[in-house]
Amino acid sequence: MFSFGIASKLKKIVGRDSVLDRAEDLMLYEYDGSLARGMPNFVVFPQNTEQVSAIMKLACSEQLSVIPRGAGTGLSGGAIARRGGIVLSLARMNRILEIDVANLRATVQPGVVNLDLSAALAPQGFYFAPDPSSQKACTIGGNVAENSGGPHTLVSGVTVNHVTGIEVVLPDGRIAQLGSKSANAAGYDLPGVFVGSEGTFGIATAITVKICRLPESVATLLSIYDDVQDAANTVVALTTEGITPAAIEMLDGWTLRAVEAYVHAGYPLDSAAVLLIELEGLREAVDEQAEIVSAVCRRAGAREVRRAKDENERQLLWKGRKTAFGAIGRVSPSYYVQDGVIPRTRVPETLRKIEEVGKKHSLTIGNIFHAGDGNLHPLILFDARDEQQTRRTLEAGREILEFCISVGGSITGEHGVGMEKQDLMSSLFSDSELEVMARLRKCFNPDSVLNPQKLLPSIRTCRETVMPGHASLDAPVASGAELR
């Protein structure tokens, strides 16, 4: 049982206005963007590395779990206090510490919003490449935790490819520097190990990232189809041609109509699907590639290929894609976002499978995804107030992910495993592979103080069949010795 006066000790570290412990305040932090829920005992808002270190030392002495949290936009339950403890919000650690154009680097605190970094870099002709659809709200620290991607990471790579150094507070409060500004630091690639660890290894308090020069020219194409399978086959055709655009996004007809009603982006309401394709580079090369890509799209069945005539039209097309999840919220009381990955050549059959799953469970499923790298985001519409419908939704999500595994894919491309998919890890990895991961986590986090019961399957679920996220929907809040 932890001692009394924890709130007072936390307030002494971070200040009275930086600790929440009243039930009505804690309720705001019992969820993220997933379906899971879990009430913390405390929420704290540190403003620097030293405060984070002091919080971790207190948590260890009091046997309290600590759950790092960014903006709360995560979609796998990674920022939820599964069994109480301290939610450590990094929202107030939101300063850009350095922009070093000469060395193509920027160093930021974890609470810096993704889009704010690119906005700060733009006047100097640079940007930060990883661009999740939630980039107006999500933070760099959260991107690091989940190894986030985005539409424009097809060529440049996801978050792990853009992080060279991380200042980390370890579970016992020690501060360590993983990597540096250099792209070729000596020793093991510890930043590569840390990125995507979902808050189970340590807490990032300063992150050094690569910055990229804004391209000279950008061409944005909207390829329009009367058959969703033709759109899927176009992705395969572009791959076969050896063409890798900066981005290839796909929306099916149902989804684009919901988006168009909300954004008025210019998507054709009578189409079965569209591909949003972007090319960037030198002006002459982009113009040539745009002609080649347009020809490939038409051969694959596109009825029309449009090119954005100016930056305003380009931004409007991307606004439709980036705000799609919000648009779906206008037509359904709830929706479940999945995050499977498949080889690009398996896109056509996977879309057919998703349609079959929707019919089997009497559910509407909209498709919007990073077609270029096979990262699917099926949106399963349901009413969370209907228990049976919720169960069908979770089962449909599981079937989609199992199909992704069966064709050589994965259960997540950028949303993370968290508590939503941890039981499916046993379907994706062998016992030996999971043991290696558990050993690695134990090196960083030997007592599971940080973000316990996340990412790796528990002993109970290792070989059991449990619907993704289901066990966590009504997880009780524990206290005392159970808080670990």
Q: How far is Cα 176 from Cα 206, in angstroms, rounded to an integer? A: 11
pLDDT at 474: 40
Sheet arrangement for strand 105-108 = 96-100, 105-108, 203-210, 163-169, 175-179
Is 409 exposed, middle or buried (CB count within 10 Å of its CB: 0-12, 13-18, 19+)?
buried
pLDDT at 202: 98
Q: How far is Cα 430 from Cα 463, in angstroms, rounded to an integer? A: 11
User: H or E stretch including 317?
Assistant: helix 311-322
Task: Calculate ∠ Cα 355-356-361, nearest 5°.
Answer: 100
Q: How far is Cα 386 from Cα 451, in angstroms, rounded to an integer? A: 30
> Average pLDDT of each block of 10 consecutive residues along the chain (484 residues)?
80 97 96 94 98 98 96 96 96 98 98 98 97 95 97 92 98 97 86 98 98 97 97 93 92 97 96 98 96 97 98 96 92 95 94 97 96 94 96 98 97 96 96 97 96 85 41 36 30
Domains of the chain in start order, with CATH, are 217-326 (3.30.70.2190), 332-406 (3.30.70)
What is the radius of gyration, based on Cα positions, of the chain? Answer: 22
Q: How far is CA 199 from CA 204, 267, 387, in A?
A: 9, 39, 31
Q: How far is Cα 173 from Cα 203, in angstroms, rounded to an integer? A: 10
Closest by CA to 253, choosing from 303, 197, 291, 299, is 303
396, 357 contact by CB (below 8 A)? yes
28, 71 contact by CB (below 8 A)? no
Three-class secondary structure of residue 57 per DSSP: helix
Close Cβ partners of 61 (under 8 Å, ≥ 6 residues apart)? none
If phi > 0 it is left, if psi is from -120 to 50 it is alpha, else beta; for residue 301 that is left
pLDDT at 459: 58
194, 166 contact by CB (below 8 A)? yes
Percent helix, percent strand, percent coil in the chain, to nearest 5 = 40, 20, 40
Taken in order 152, 156, 159, 164, the sign of the CA dihedral is negative
In angstroms, the first-to-last Cα distance of the chain is 11
Q: How far is CA 120 from CA 95, 211, 212, 449, in A?
A: 11, 11, 13, 36
Close Cβ partners of 334 (under 8 Å, ≥ 6 residues apart)? 381, 382, 383, 384
**Length of the chain in terms of residues written:** 484
b/e code 85-120 from CB counts within 10 Å (16+ = b): bbbbbbbbbbeeeeeeeeeebbbbbbbbbbbbbbeb
Structure tokens belonging to residue 120: 């700060």
Three-class secondary structure of residue 205 per DSSP: strand
The amino acid sitting at 298 is R
Taken in order 313, 319, 324, 330, the sign of the CA dihedral is negative
Three-class secondary structure of residue 207 per DSSP: strand
b/e code 297-311 from CB counts within 10 Å (16+ = b): beebbbbebbbbeee
339, 373 contact by CB (below 8 A)? no
pLDDT at 482: 30
Give residue 210's Cα distance to chain centre.
19
